[in-house]
Structure 1
Amino acid sequence: MNIAERFPKSRHSPADNRPHAIIIGAGVGGLTTGALLGAKGYRVTILDPLDEPGGRAYAHRQDGFTFDAGPTIITAPWLFENLWRDCGGRLSDDVDLRPNTPFYRVRFDEGTVFDYSGDRAAMEAQIARIEPRDVAGYRSFLDESRRIYEVAFEQLAHKPFHSLLFTAKTLARLVRLGGYRSVYSVVSKHFRSDKLRTLFSFHPLLIGGNPFSATSFYCLIAHLEGKYGVHHAMGGTNALVRGIASLVTRNGGRIRLEETVTEIVTEGRRATGVRLASGERIAADIVISNADPATTYGKLLKAHPRRRWTDAKLARGDYSMSLFVWYFGTSRRYDDVQHHTMLFGPRYRGLLDDIFRNHRLAEDFSLYLHRPTASDPSLAPPGCDAFYVLSPVPNLDSKTDWTETAESYRRKIEQRLEETVLPDLSRHVVTSRIATPIDFRDRLLSWQGAAFALEPKLFQSAWFRPHNKSEELDNLFLCGAGTHPGAGLPGVVSSARIVADLVPDPVTLLAGTWQQDARDSRS
């Protein structure tokens, strides 16, 4: 299926002789890469097995409700403004981004509520009510977060870590930043209160990381949010996806949906195209994979001899947790519930140990509740609310039988929501659907059903992560959550930027000089 007719008319035609870039996957990373490569002068074809673009940022529409499937928190809006600028447009012409205030409402298990925002005075007042001595710790934590942000995000997030020499040169700076420490250990240095240690360390969970093992570089999120805010897109995050898809087609690109790539076709050290499940083979000058890197190397390149990302190395990787997500609509509105709510359970470290280390589905849980109709009533019928609630769970290494467990787990979550923030919920649910780790494996083709690819630990970050320019093939590139710099909307957009900078100039491909340049660079 070709969706060009839903967007501004494509200039892609059979006579188009621009170098051809095939992109596997129409997630945010793949779409952003396609938009940038189209603006750079490539003929772009994006292939995706789903019936709509978005990947994890897909939208479910049922019974008059719209549910974003995955990412709902938009930070660093300037990344998208720059994308539209470089593609000859303005973000505001296609997407309406609006700030959230507060960023999140956090509810602790015993009922304490904390509104997390960019208002430092309001934050300090709430901190003082929990632990007055931690106000100074909050100030010192924000200062450390800023220092990490200025190096790890501003200077390194858009740089490829392909070279050991480059990695060695930056290692001293990374050590000075304390990248060998975990997020939780850095937060604990600044805060005495266990509640506040939880509050200021949970952010890695939003990108698949365990706060007790994720590198402290992710402490930068506090500064990033404080500086640029937390935003949402009117119409849902998928409205942003549709906007990026329109940038692809405006520059002549095609997005072919319900097309599954089964193999990257190779010749020597070059990818020559892809083969689809239908048997069709499509030739390409360069190939970009927005798929999970373990799927890229372990399945799409299964027949190709690999030097670094062998089956054995892929099997040894530590993969992120998965997610259980319940999407539901209600016949009433809950106007005292914020756009974003975090509901912490009775355990923090113990629960995370069960998820990440023990690979055991625990009896308790912590939840993220998304109520987009707090800001955008158009996502539900009049007088109704749209929600999703997300519970971090182990990936499929846990051997949990989700075909047997899903409904009982959903009922436990429903009961907890009724007891805390959504009274009489069970009487008002009018539409419902769930996603389990099986959906991440089978629908999104994620290795082990992991929701965020490799876990973002120090030795699975930067140079240690699958590179944006493949180590296995000269003209294969990787974008998305599984490569550098990592998961989250800023991470996948930055990965697309890296790829757009790494690919050869299309003029050199037309002149036939790039292959010689690639051979020379290896000699």
Structure 2
Amino acid sequence: MLTPSQGSLPTAALPTSAPAAQAVVIGSGFGGLAAAVRLGARGYRVTVLERLDAPGGRGYVHRQDGFTFDAGPTVITAPFLFEELWALCGKRLADDVDLRPVSPFYRVRFDDGSTFDYSGDADAMRAEIARLAPEDIAGYERFLAASEAIYKVGFEQLGHVSFDRWTTMAKALPDLLKLEGWRTVWGLACKHVNNEKLRVVLTFQSLLVGGNPFATTSVYCLIAFLERRFGVHFAMGGTGALVAGLVKLIEGQGGRVLCGQAVDEIVVARGAACGVRLESGAVMPADVVVSNADAAWTYKHLLPARHRRHWTDRRIARARYSMSLFVWYFGTRRQYPDVAHHTISLGPRYEGLLDDIFTKKHLADDFSLYLHRPTATDPSLAPPGCDAFYVLAPVPHLDAGVDWRERAEPYRAAIAKRLGETLLPGLEGEVVTSLMLTPQDFQDRLNSYKGAAFAMEPVLTQSAWFRPHNHSEEVDRLYLVGAGTHPGAGLPGVLSSARVLDAVVPHGHELACPQSTLIAEGLPHVRHA
């Protein structure tokens, strides 16, 4: 994997008449890396600051005992958003990253052992539905048509629009009402199909972006058409190959990605962000600051309270947050060739389990699981004859009060037992390497408020204009990207949040650099390369 910069890098020569405007991006998740590429294409010299020892954020890569584990995102559904970033640099995505289509998209395993292969093949899907619920074939087609209509408005028209004015929301509202955005994901599925299993098949995707299908706005049903139109893909070498490719693009623009650099505060002067203070005490001046850190964390911990009138501590605490995740990464000494690349393994309860997770904040004894077997597509991610896996279980965020130091290993063992009884026979005797990520790690390692894995819950009253704005409501020249801002979580969402910057951040040559004001105040500072 490409090694990120640990210090200053040689940069392209700049015109002597006007120094390049400087941008600092806090965090190197996909939203931050995409933002850096877009800012670089708009005339900024960009520095990305990452507190971990390698880039990627939730897309961090773990390497252990010859196995490669992608820490987070594994489902790539809108490759054109990556292609745009490469095109901005005059390059082709395919020259750096090998994306392979995955089929089926997901294999859904119900608690009774029956399965459903969910794919983008229209005939195959009709055949699967005919096997499961023949009376719902026409209803499924109506659901997909509704998903396409929502996609054309919610994604194509509004996904890259800045909702920093309430009038933008007011203009979009009639279309959203016409498309029944007031319904939940579950409610829209129920309108069109009657079979309970099929309803689950059509609604679990909202969990992949942190939403409870019984509460999340039906706008997120657009995922069904998004997947049908563009497919589900996997990057050979793992999702980390995309991270490495983006770092390479940034450095090719003359920017840099600095790891092991934690930001302590966003510095504000005259009502505008003008740099960041590092934990070392040094200040890095900037003409614009983009935060890819968790939105709630950004406002509560990075922007001092004296600069906040909208996102006060009280409002942040009262917002609704997504569930968290328990993730177990493991490698086996043998292979399981019958296991699909992506498997959704459902437990005995659906609505009841989600109610425990989202509403009651109760860690239940049963669980539903997402099992990722990347070696189904790329065997190089494990030693010969072995398989790499990760399995995640949606769990409550830290308001549940679970002591994960005590509960992590028993919970992992329960998951291993369940997998050994269902998908991976003999598992407990085959594991040769293992590591875990708990809700506590989401908070402590990834700075996720309350350990929520997907920031604010995507209910209607926390979507679009109601979400933290891409152009900060609090101070000028501060911008937000990532899961916590518009349009939301998931790779298409965070990449689209970076697209919004094209509309709200001035071009680099339009700025009169304010860095001299900051430096004149006598603060210790870090010069840009």
SS in 2 for 1:264: strand
Deviation readout 1:408-451 (Å, 9 max, x if unpaired): 00000000000101000111100000000011000000000000
User: Pairwise mapping of residues 182-201 of structure 1 onto structure 2 (< 5 A)?
Assistant: 182-201=184-203
Letter in 2 for 1:325: V
User: Pairwise mapping of residues 376-455 of structure 1 onto structure 2 (< 5 A)?
Assistant: 376-455=378-457
Q: CA deviation at 1:392?
A: 0.3
Deviation readout 1:164-198 (Å, 9 max, x if unpaired): 11211111111111111100000011111111111
Match of 1:144 in 2: 146
Q: CA deviation at 1:7?
A: 13
Match of 2:274 in 1: 272
Q: CA deviation at 1:310?
A: 0.7
Q: CA deviation at 1:501?
A: 2.8
Check conservation: 2:370, 2:391, Cα contact below 8 A.
yes
Of 280, 289, 292, the match for 1:290: 292
Of 476, 485, 489, the match for 1:487: 489
Letter in 2 for 1:152: G
Distance 1:12 1:490 in 2: 34
Distance 2:297 2:269 in 1: 20
SS in 1 for 2:301: helix
SS in 1 for 2:134: coil
Deviation readout 1:471-502 (Å, 9 max, x if unpaired): 00111000011000000001111100111331
Deviation readout 1:2-61 (Å, 9 max, x if unpaired): 923899964389999211100000100000100111121101011011111100011100
Distance 2:249 2:435 in 1: 31
Q: CA deviation at 1:268?
A: 2.9
Deviation readout 1:351-397 (Å, 9 max, x if unpaired): 00000000000010000000000000000000000000000000000
SS in 1 for 2:151: helix
- Between the two proteins, what is the percent identity of the paired residues? 60
Check conservation: 1:11, 1:253, Cα contact below 8 A.
no
Of 165, 170, 173, the match for 2:172: 170
CA RMSD of aligned residues (A): 1.8
Q: CA deviation at 1:85?
A: 0.5
SS in 2 for 1:383: coil
Check conservation: 2:6, 2:259, Cα contact below 8 A.
no
Check conservation: 1:99, 1:232, Cα contact below 8 A.
yes
Distance 2:21 2:335 in 1: 52
Of 81, 84, 88, the match for 2:86: 84
Q: TM-score, normalised by structure 1?
A: 0.95
SS in 1 for 2:363: coil
Letter in 2 for 1:301: L
User: Pairwise mapping of residues 206-221 of structure 1 onto structure 2 (< 5 A)?
Assistant: 206-221=208-223
Letter in 2 for 1:69: A
Of 490, 497, 500, the match for 2:499: 497
Distance 2:286 2:455 in 1: 26
Letter in 2 for 1:28: F
Check conservation: 1:7, 1:246, Cα contact below 8 A.
no
Check conservation: 2:182, 2:217, Cα contact below 8 A.
yes
Distance 1:293 1:419 in 2: 40
* Segment of structure 1 superposing worse, 37-46 or 502-511: 502-511
Distance 2:149 2:9 in 1: 43
SS in 2 for 1:304: helix
Letter in 2 for 1:168: A
Matched, 1:19 2:21: yes
Match of 2:224 in 1: 222
Deviation readout 1:84-113 (Å, 9 max, x if unpaired): 101211100110001001111110000011
- Which runs of at least 4 in structure 1 moved beyond 4 Å after TM superposition? 5-10, 12-16
Check conservation: 1:33, 1:500, Cα contact below 8 A.
no
Letter in 1 for 2:200: T
Check conservation: 2:9, 2:256, Cα contact below 8 A.
no
Distance 1:304 1:46 in 2: 26
Distance 2:13 2:408 in 1: 44
Q: CA deviation at 1:267?
A: 1.4
Match of 1:520 in 2: none
Check conservation: 2:4, 2:247, Cα contact below 8 A.
no
User: Pairwise mapping of residues 1-20 of structure 1 onto structure 2 (< 5 A)?
Assistant: 3-4=4-5, 10-11=11-12, 17-20=19-22
Distance 1:6 1:231 in 2: 34
Matched, 1:55 2:57: yes
Q: TM-score, normalised by structure 2?
A: 0.94
Matched, 1:180 2:154: no
Match of 2:258 in 1: 256
Match of 2:306 in 1: 304
SS in 2 for 1:106: strand
Match of 1:232 in 2: 234
SS in 2 for 1:53: coil
Check conservation: 2:14, 2:20, Cα contact below 8 A.
no
Match of 1:120 in 2: 122
Check conservation: 2:7, 2:258, Cα contact below 8 A.
no
Letter in 2 for 1:293: A
Match of 2:244 in 1: 242
Check conservation: 1:43, 1:252, Cα contact below 8 A.
yes
Distance 1:191 1:439 in 2: 39
Of 448, 464, 467, the match for 1:465: 467
Match of 2:38 in 1: 36
Distance 1:90 1:312 in 2: 46
Q: CA deviation at 1:68?
A: 0.3
Match of 1:519 in 2: none
Distance 1:109 1:122 in 2: 23
SS in 1 for 2:511: helix
Distance 1:193 1:55 in 2: 39
Letter in 1 for 2:250: V
SS in 2 for 1:387: strand
Match of 1:354 in 2: 356
Check conservation: 2:4, 2:55, Cα contact below 8 A.
no
Distance 1:94 1:176 in 2: 42
Check conservation: 2:347, 2:367, Cα contact below 8 A.
yes
Instruction: For structure 2, list consecutive stretches of 5 or more residues without a partner in the other structure.
Output: 518-529
- C-alpha spacing 1:500/1:109, structure 2 compared with 1 (3 Å): same
Check conservation: 2:326, 2:393, Cα contact below 8 A.
yes
- C-alpha spacing 1:115/1:20, structure 2 compared with 1 (3 Å): same
Instruction: For structure 1, list consecutive stretches of 5 or more residues without a partner in the other structure.
Output: 516-523
Deviation readout 1:289-334 (Å, 9 max, x if unpaired): 0011111110101343312111111011000000000000000010
- C-alpha spacing 1:369/1:7, structure 2 compared with 1 (3 Å): farther
